[in-house]
Each structure stands twice: as C-alpha cells, then as structure tokens.
Amino acid sequence: MTTAEENYAPPCLKKPALPVRCPEVYLNPPAQPRDKKPGQLSKAQVEQFFRDGYVVVDEFFQPEELQPVREAVAERVDHLAETLHRAGKIKDKHEEAGLFQRLTLLDKEFPGAAIVLVKSRRNMPKAFRDLWSHERLLNAVEQLIGPDIAGHQVWNLRTKTPTNEALTVPWHQDNAYLLPECLGTLQPTAWIPLLDATVRNGCMQVLKGGHRKGVTATHTCCAGGTWYVEVSEKEMEKTLGCDMKKDLVTCEVPYGGVLFLNNCVPHRSLENYSDEIRWSLDLRWQDPNKPSGFWGDKDLVLMRTAKDPGYKPRWGEFLNEEAQVEDGKDNSADLEEDLEPSIQGPWMLRWEIVHHNRHTRALKS
C-alpha cells in the first residue's frame, strides 16, 4: 500500500488503527453556489466553519418557525407519560407541567424516563422532518458540502433535564460514533436548541481547530454513567494538537440560532444547572455519494440533488413506515416502547471499554 493510500484507507476494525488522515475535506469549502439564496451563510461564516470547525448563526429561525418542533416534543413527552402510566411505572402523568418541566417530573417518579425518551425510535415527527429539510437550512448546508445533500441516519432529540449526569455529553468527535470509513466525509451538524442555550443550562463547548488534522483521536467507552464515548484532554492535545486553554470556545446559542459543527471537531455539552430542560435537536447531512459510516442497514435520506432541482425527500423510504407518513400525520402512538433505561450501540465496540456501567453491561456482542 502506498503512503497516499494509507492516508485514505479506513482502518479495519480488527486491525490496529492505521494513521488515517483526511484533512482536506474538513478544511476546504466546495465551490460556492452562484445564486443568492435565503439562509445562506456569509463568506466569513463559511470561512469560520472550515477554519475553526464550527460557527454559531444567531436568528436563523423565527420563533414561530420552531413552534411546531416544540409542540412535537411536547407530544412525545405526553406519549411517554401515557406509556409509563399504562405500564404502572408512574402514578401522576404531570399533565399540568409545561415543556421545560414535565420530563423532569416524570424522571423523578421513574428514574430513567429521560433516557427512555432519548432512545425512543418512534417515527420522526413531521415537524422535525420539515426542520431538517428546511429550505434555508439546506441552502446553508449546500455551501458546506455542495449541491447534492442527504440527511444522515443519526439524528437526536436531546433531553437535558437538570443535573442529570447521564445527559451531559463528554468530549468527543462525532465520527467516533461511526465506522472509520466515513473519516473522509464531511458531515456538518446543525445543533438547534429549543430555548436559549446558556452556560447555566448546558450549552455546547467546542475546541476550535481540533478538526484541522482530519484524524479521529482515540476514544474510550463509556463516560461515567453514560453510554457515550469520550476522548481525554491529553489525547486531544497529543493527537489533534488542541490547546485546552486557547482553543476552548463556549457556544451559547439563543433560541432561533443554530450551531453548525464539523464532524471532526471535538465538542461536549455542559451540565444543566438551571431548573428547565435544555431541549435541542442535532441533525446531520452529507454528500450522498460518500460513505456515511452508519452501522445499520438504513439508508441516507436524499434531500437535494443537482440533477433534479424539484426533488423532494422520500420520507416513507427513510422511515420505512410509509403508511405512517403518507398522510403527513404521526399516527405511531401505538408503537411499543422499550422502557428499559439503558442504551447500547455499536460505537461501544469500536473503542476500548475502560469503564463499565448499566449501559455497557447490557451490551450483547
């Protein structure tokens, strides 16, 4: 194998990791669209994304545009409350509590309710799909990855209830959760809070420039009482060349704002010390012709293609539940929920398990 090939070859899971490096996809913007389109980032914002590995864009959405998303989250919490109640796990459904309190109350009565909500694979609500394929968002993403855009299989609704260690995400690079083959694929994330995300309620922190070498540092599994992989400060300094003092950026994002993240940049979220739940969504995209690194057999969802300007995402295929999305409604409330508050995933097999907890113990090979 030549040196150049070595640089691009994904390390086989069974072999010791090769020194894989793919910096250029993370550093060089594609040709910018010639047309002016709503939602496009400024030249300086595009440059920042590629130089620093992140960019915060305030006022990307109007509050009323995010209202359906808040309502869909409330509906999910309501469904969870009904399910827990039916299963005899809780006595009070806390129907009077609002979006920013109710899950905390459910979690008090049934510890782990917030985790059950995180792992719920109920259909992605229409409001989430509309946000993910929002015209303005895709216009911004086009500036980062080009005119062919697919939604990545990994999306999350984060339910950061106050002082809940299990929901505080430690330092990681997103590609550490995927197969090594996707290292050469730029997969920008839009991290979208459903309230003002602040230091107090657990906003994100980024190590700016940590993507520049285009490598995935060695992570370990699993941090504290979580199912998350983690990369140590020492390892980020050594392998990614990060300076923990100079490169640390705390990204407060006001409601309506978006934090765009590069999948190679190290980031984490802070603990929530407020009395409200810090809800957020993280949504990802990539060029459909590149490896996604997803472990399962689900496909990407094509959202735009240069060949067909009128193309619309085929959600039925993505969700594999055509009947449920055909009429635009989410009539999936009857789907069984798994009420076991632990989470396992294939990323646990990619990295050494150095700390066992309820999540790793339930891992089947």
Ligand X SMILES: O=C(O)CCC(=O)C(=O)O
Contact residues: ligand X, CB under 6 A:
158, 160, 169, 174, 189, 191, 267, 269, 280, 282
- DSSP letters along 114-177, please? HHHHHH--PPPPHHHHHHHT-HHHHHHHHHHH-S-EEE-S--EEEEE-TT-GGG---SB-GGGG
**Least Cβ distance, residue 250 to ligand X (angstroms):** 13
- DSSP letters along 49-101, please? HHHHSEEEETTSS-HHHHHHHHHHHHHHHHHHHHHHHHTTS-S---TTS-TTT
In angstroms, the CA 352 to CA 238 distance is 18
**Least Cβ distance, residue 193 to ligand X (angstroms):** 8
Cβ distance 49 to 260 under 8 Å? Answer: yes
Q: Name, in order, each residue with C-beta under 8 angstroms of 216's C-beta and a sequence gap of 6 or more.
A: 20, 173, 175, 176, 180, 183, 264
**Least Cβ distance, residue 327 to ligand X (angstroms):** 31
Rank residues 49 and 191 by Cβ distance to ligand X and give the closer one: 191
Rank residues 250 and 320 by Cβ distance to ligand X and give the closer one: 250
> Which amino acid would we find at residue 279?
W
Q: Dump strand ranges (E) for 212-331.
A: 220-221, 229-230, 248-251, 258-261, 267-269, 278-286, 301-304
Rank residues 60 and 191 by Cβ distance to ligand X and give the closer one: 191
Rank residues 90 and 114 by Cβ distance to ligand X and give the closer one: 114
Rank residues 123 and 272 by Cβ distance to ligand X and give the closer one: 272
**Least Cβ distance, residue 191 to ligand X (angstroms):** 5
Cα dihedral angle (298, 336, 339, 124), rounded to 10 degrees?
40
**Least Cβ distance, residue 82 to ligand X (angstroms):** 26
Locate 294 and state its tokens: 């997803």
Q: Which residue is nearest to ligand X (CB)?
A: 269
Cβ distance 99 to 77 under 8 Å? Answer: yes
Q: With the C-alpha atoms ordered 110, 228, 291, 211, is the resulting torsion angle positive or negative?
A: positive
| Sheet with 248-251, edge to edge strand ranges | 248-251, 204-207, 267-269
Rank residues 155 and 311 by Cβ distance to ligand X and give the closer one: 155
Rank residues 139 and 269 by Cβ distance to ligand X and give the closer one: 269
C-alpha dist (Å) from residue 193 to 159, 221, 350: 11, 26, 29
Whether omega for the bond prior to residue 222 falls within 30 degrees of 0, making it cis, is: yes
**Least Cβ distance, residue 239 to ligand X (angstroms):** 19
Question: For residue 110, what is the DSSP state?
Answer: S
Rank residues 46 and 169 by Cβ distance to ligand X and give the closer one: 169
**Least Cβ distance, residue 3 to ligand X (angstroms):** 32
Query: To which residue do tokens 């810090």 refer?
Result: 278
**Least Cβ distance, residue 7 to ligand X (angstroms):** 25
**Least Cβ distance, residue 278 to ligand X (angstroms):** 8
Rank residues 212 and 267 by Cβ distance to ligand X and give the closer one: 267
